[in-house]
Amino acid sequence: MNKLTIRDLDAAGKRVFVRVDFNVPLEDGKITDDSRIVAALPTIKALLAQGAIVILASHLGRPDGKVQDSMRLRPVAERLSQLLGIQVNVTGDALGVGTEDAIKRLKPGEAILLENLRFHAEEEKNDPAFARALASYADVYVNDAFGTAHRAHASTEGIAHILPAYAGLLMEKEIEFLGKLMENPERPFAAIIGGAKVSGKIKVLRNLVDKVEVLVIGGGMANTFLLAQGKPVGKSLVETDRVDDARAIMESAEKHGTKIVLPSDVVVAKEVTRGTEYKTVSVDKVPASWNIVDVGKVSIEAMRKALEPAMTVFWNGPLGVFEIPAFATGTKEVARFLAGRAQAGATVVVGGGDSVAAVEQQGLGDRMTHISTGGGASLEFMEGKELPGVAILLDAAPAAAAE
């Protein structure tokens, strides 16, 4: 998937509309994790250094088309200003005369941030008039928000029909790493898929089962596979309507020679809460009134052994009820193991969500090969779906034609 990027763009003196993903967590008006802002800095700095006028745009939260003071982007603009070392003001609204005037006053090498795009319902509806209004601010469009690339919204897809559309450096990195996983991974290739439910990841499992040598399944979704094998799962989270899907995936794995690794021992708890009683049991002996909440030590060791030869690993989703520290052991152990594999030369890509949180909490982020900024987007990419926000970007000339 070869797209034109800002490396192919002469941005000097141009007004560049940059869709970023500044959907950061806030508590009492303060940012608790600025990693998404930091991830966008290379693109913003590169454009400013070229002498572009940069118009940044993002959503924050789910305001459902209404102005919500708790979802204003002022804290983001303040943090961005600190990180860039220049003042970046936020507009009062994404549209309007005041915003137009503020953009007209910008000089090359300056930036502004539009107020939360989703204060307008037209954004998520991909309204053509709203897209035209956004496009009127700029000469060129850059998408650096991979986390929203699976949505055809006005600022991710509609605007790219109007302006020449390029990938930002973060978008380029996402396409490069995830694209290589799907098209030309170094082998052996392994995937670890966890999380609560099979239903949300059934398509990615189907797409990966014949592409990997090893498929490790953990988290709540493993319960459905255990049930498909006739194992007792007690009161655990399980999707009985997905048992046939689980069986089909296991049959497909056998047909393609793919090794599936499921838990052989599990941590079970009386309740899925902090401070509850818990113990480790074989998957054949889960008590009827208990809940599976994590993988056991034997399972962790089996997963390590299966993953050891892998030269490429994709990981999405925790292996237990990660929010409760007592049930986060499997997830944390796998994070540490993968960090070691990445340091030893394997390509390790962590695909969004709680698996990223597990990595970051242990300070292992910079030891992984790539951490995807898009949970839903990276999953849909790994399902083999075309992402609207990526597909609409300008294609680069094929290598042969370029020579």
Q: Which residues make Cβ contacts (< 8 Å) with residue 238, sequence separation at least 6?
A: 220, 223, 224, 227
Cis peptide before 325 (omega within 30 of 0): no
Helices 169-183 and 375-382, interaxial angle, to 10°?
30
C-alpha to C-alpha distances, 311 to 236, 250, 355, nearest whole angstrom? 34, 23, 19
Q: How many residues does the chain have?
A: 403
Catalytic (active-site) positions: 36, 197, 353, 376
* Listed residue (179, 119, 107, 103) closest to 155, CA to CA: 119
Alpha-helical runs (H) found in 125-231: 128-135, 169-183, 202-208, 220-228
Report the distance separating Cα 62 and Cα 181, nearest Å.
Answer: 31
* Listed residue (56, 48, 40) closest to 13, CA to CA: 48
Report the distance separating Cα 367 and Cα 384, nearest Å.
Answer: 27
SS3 breakdown of the chain: % helix, strand, coil, rounded to 5? 40, 15, 40
Q: Are strands 26-27 and 259-261 parallel, antiparallel or unpaired?
A: unpaired
Both tokens assigned to 303: 């997963």
